[in-house]
Structure 1
């Protein structure tokens, strides 16, 4: 049964309207576009007066900054929960790459908001920057552990290159799969069927060797 406006409004009477507004924005995403959501439409969705919304967010950019903060926190928690802290660094990099891709499938609205919405500089807070780097920190920690395992220098360059390469792998695969470029390549016979990424076995079969390629590259550069 659909939730009535009265019941939606009740959610913040005993809580936080600012939180309820972010909740409401995310609730609207599956059925509409980000561009079409206005502060007034959001107010109607959760059953409050438009003036109540403006008491917390002066404009849509400020609201989007709060929504992005929520999405980034959710994304970081997802990655953190999908890696074993005591696992070998190679396994951690492999697990994080897969988790990145799987997040895009299971939480597409959050994923799209994180990577498609730019927040104007004046609304970028220290908290937003710190939260946006939590996911990177998981990758960086794994790269540092990899370098230390092989007794290689943990310089800013080596750590940054490693995190950048791992992130590029995960995001590149995710982007190609979203456009079904990998499907076309597999169906044409140019790529092996393991790269279809359409089930758990295929995802494992693709990310394991791809992770090994990236890891080998990180080690090769660090040895120079």
Structure 2
């Protein structure tokens, strides 16, 4: 007797299970060791059944990265809708990014730390369209940060309209946050500063100084 087709909700549950298990493999074994057979085994299904949900490991990988960027984008979007003062908004965006690095550590590592495929690697391939979704989310996040910085600098007596300078400020703030997050992820920071709350407040102070109009 033929089994009834799974409904949309059941399919979504199985897809999420597959993505969760693939993320585990990515973190512990790396992208090169990620295979459909290994994901299927960890998900408790046959190596052929997994193809009913995803076409290949790249689709699974990109779906994981997109899910991570969706989570970060949601945090940024909420802040942009809540804070009208650009300097305060900038501080909160920085804090949200910092917290994301700890709350969603595995996603953060795949998105920003690990040597994994990026958008350009999928150009001209069947996965280009899906990779473009990831790129779109990531650029929206950068644009929110850049727009906030532009609003802060526009209050200067001589506003800086150079988009390259805005990009440099985004990179400065991003580099500062990413560096500290990486030090904590590698368990180095705890040997330097025991009180992590002091580190967070110092970072926020430094970022405020970077963003403030001269």
Contact 1:143–1:159 (CA under 8 A) maintained in structure 2: yes
- In structure 1, C-alpha distance between the alignment counterparts of 2:136 and 2:56, rounded to whole Å: 23
SS at match of 1:153: coil
Tell me, in whole angstroms, the C-alpha distance in 2 between the residues paired with 1:34 and 1:82. Answer: 35
Is 1:161 the counterpart of 2:157? The answer is: no
> What's 1:192 paired with?
none
Distance of aligned partners of 1:65 and 1:170 in 2 relative to their CA distance in 1, 3 Å threshold: same
Aligned with residue 212 of structure 1, among 200, 208, 211: 208
For 1:186, which of 175, 193, 198 is the aligned residue?
A: 193
Corresponding residue SS for 1:50: coil
Equivalent position of 1:126 in the other structure? 132
RMSD: 3.0
The gaps in structure 1 that reach 5 residues or longer are: 1-9, 188-195
- Would you say the 8 A contact 2:94–2:204 is kept in 1? no
Following superposition, the deviation at residue 174 of structure 1 comes to 1.2
Count of aligned positions: 197
CA displacement at 1:172 relative to structure 2? 1.7
User: Match of 1:87, SS?
Assistant: coil
Q: Could you tell me the TM-score, scaled by structure 1's length?
A: 0.72
Partner of 1:42: 39
Matches within 5 A, 1:46-195: 46-83=43-80, 85-115=82-112, 116-119=114-117, 121-122=121-122, 123-124=127-128, 125-151=131-157, 152-186=159-193
Q: Distance in 1 between matches of 2:136 and 2:14?
A: 23
Contact 1:89 1:143 in 2 (8 A): yes
Q: Does 1:14 align with 2:15?
A: no
Q: Call closer, same or farther: CA 1:160–1:85 in 2, change over 3 Å.
A: farther
TM-superposed CA distance for 1:185, in Å, is 2.8
Gaps of 5+ in 2: none
User: In 2, Cα distance between the equivalents of 1:34 and 1:75?
Assistant: 24
Instruction: Report the alpha carbon displacement of residue 130 of structure 1 after superposing the two structures with TM.
Output: 0.5
Give the whole-Å Cα distance in 1 for the aligned partners of 2:17 and 2:171: 31
SS in 2 for 1:157: helix
Classify 1:24/1:165 alpha carbon distance in 2 versus 1 (closer, same or farther; 3 Å): same
- SS of 1:91's equivalent in the other structure is helix
Q: Distance in 2 between matches of 1:70 and 1:76?
A: 10
